[in-house]
Amino acid sequence: MDVSWYIVLSAMIFCIGLAGVISRRNPLVVLLSLELLLNAGNLALIAFSRMWGNADGQIFALIVMVVAACEVVVGLGLIVAMYRNRIPIDVDEMSELHG
Amino acid sequence: MQVLEAICFFIAAIFALGGAAGVVLLRNPFFSVLALVMHLLALAALFLLLHAQFLAASQIIVYAGAVMVLYVFVAAYVGGVEEPMSPSGPLLTLGPLFAGALFIELVLAALGTGLSAIDSEGAKVGPGFGDPAQFGELLLKRFLIPFEAASYLLLIAAVGAVVLARRRRGLEHLDAEHQRELGLSARPEGDGPPSLIAPGAQS
């Protein structure tokens, strides 16, 4: 398979995730869509790494996975804090930072 | 061999796209999480096709395993809040439009690129490409500092999540004396969670 197929697939996944981030209002689904964005980036990185025959891109992809895990943990902590403070689970309600 | 690879690619691509569409389109967040699990498994298959064996394994174990379990826990804890797809929001029409425009632009950029190797299989790689031995050598020699920074990032994220999600009202079960020492009773009233201790009981 040509590398360009993987790049186009990665672009499609990225755009689906972008539409989700913009149009969904549940923060859990927004986080899931962010995962889609990061995974599309990972796929492109690995495809280019394969194209060059150089494994550095795979290391980048691993670091992206680490960053994604951190983002998930903090984001889910925020959602749990919203639930505990009885804020409705909606991104529009989180318009201000207030301890 | 070539045909087999193409078949595997298209099956995995269909599952990946279907999972991605499911994440965005399904109303119930619980089903969105399950769709993302399918998407991640399909992506792991694509990684295998690209000779990234170690990443495919860690994608399944770390992502589809650990991270998704966290998502399922939170989805179950918060409850399946069925989100009304508010038709009034302008973002609901603007979002897909913007995404479509970006997709066209990305495809134009990818296919019109000057990279000549993009229409080929890629460079010839040996059998050890992307296996754990090569990963370990790169991580501990060439990318040592990013590796250590990533470990600190994970530690900070874990501590931050505990701080964010801790039970704030739990401290109020301590006696008021202890709270005053800690300076916690001086919380401003208002948007915060309601105090379990009546104001008169603390004085």
Nearest to B130 by CA among B49, B196, B193, B62: B49
pLDDT at B126 over 50: yes
Tokens 């918060």 sit at which residue?
A: B78
pLDDT score, position A31? 92
Residue of A nearest to B65 (CA): A69
Answer for the pair B193, A85: CB distance below 8 angstroms, yes or no.
Answer: yes
Comparing CB atoms, the residue among B107, B154, B165 nearest residue A11 is: B107
Average pLDDT across chain B, whole number: 80
Round to whole Å and give the CA distance between B49 and A12: 18
> Which percentage of chain A shows pLDDT scores above 90?
49
Chain A CB within 8 Å of residue B159 CB: no
Nearest residue, CB atoms, A36 vs list B6, B23, B77:
B23
Mean pLDDT computed over A68-97? 82
Sign of CA dihedral B121, B122, B126, B130: negative
Q: What is the pLDDT of residue B43?
A: 94
pLDDT of residue B27: 85
Residues in A closer than 8 angstroms to B13, CB to CB, are 5, 9
Please give the Cα distance from B50 to A1 (Å, whole number).
9
Nearest residue to B172 via CA among B133, B201, B142, B131? B201
Q: Which residues of A touch B40 (CB under 8 A)?
A: 39
Question: In 10 A of CB A70, how many CB atoms?
Answer: 19
- Which pLDDT score is estimated for B202? 43
Give the model confidence (pLDDT) of B16-50 as tens digits. 999 999 999 988 888 999 999 999 999 999 999 99
Q: Scanning the structure block, which residue is given the tokens 């992502």?
A: B63
For residue B67, the chain A residues in CB contact (below 8 A) are 35, 68-69, 72
pLDDT digit string, tens, across residues B77-96: 887 666 655 555 677 788 88
Is the pLDDT at A94 greater than 80? The verdict is no
At B88 the three-state DSSP class reads coil
